[in-house]
Amino acid sequence: MKAEILVFVALTAVLLLVSVSVFAHHSNALSDKDRLTTMTGTVTKFAFTNPHVGISLDVKDAQGHVVNWYAFGGNPAALHREGGWTNKTFKVGEQILVRGHVNRDDKPIVLYVRLYHCQSWRFAVEKSSFP
């Protein structure tokens, strides 16, 4: 009888630990996957923290007004492992180009697909324009 109770308690503990990670993850349903947007802006904050790396940036809209956007994406461990990112990858005041999916509710939030330092992006465009 004691062994059955011990097994029950152990299984319950394992299920609770596994369920915490399931509840912690969320959907990207708010992002409009049918609309890929490209914008350039100036970094105002770079947060290389869990659960998602985030960048705040000032972007000028069509009327010339500055709008503060928030771009978020992958987790820091994966970005470091796959792309060599660190907490110094982007600096406040730096110009960056963001490609991603904006929120469906038109809030200034974008799920980024790609981020570029503007100098390296300009260099890539100039290189590709050569015959």
pLDDT value of position 35: 86
3-state DSSP percent of the chain in helix, strand and coil, to 5: 30, 35, 30
CB 69 within 8 A of CB 57: yes
- Average pLDDT score over residue span 28-35: 77
Q: pLDDT of 43-95, one tens digit each?
A: 999 999 988 999 999 999 889 999 999 999 989 999 999 989 999 999 999 99
Q: For residue 69, what are the β-bridge partners?
A: 57
pLDDT value of position 17: 59
Domains of the chain from N-terminus onward: 31-128 (2.40.50.140)
Q: Which of 32-41, 68-77, 115-124 has the lowest mean pLDDT?
A: 115-124
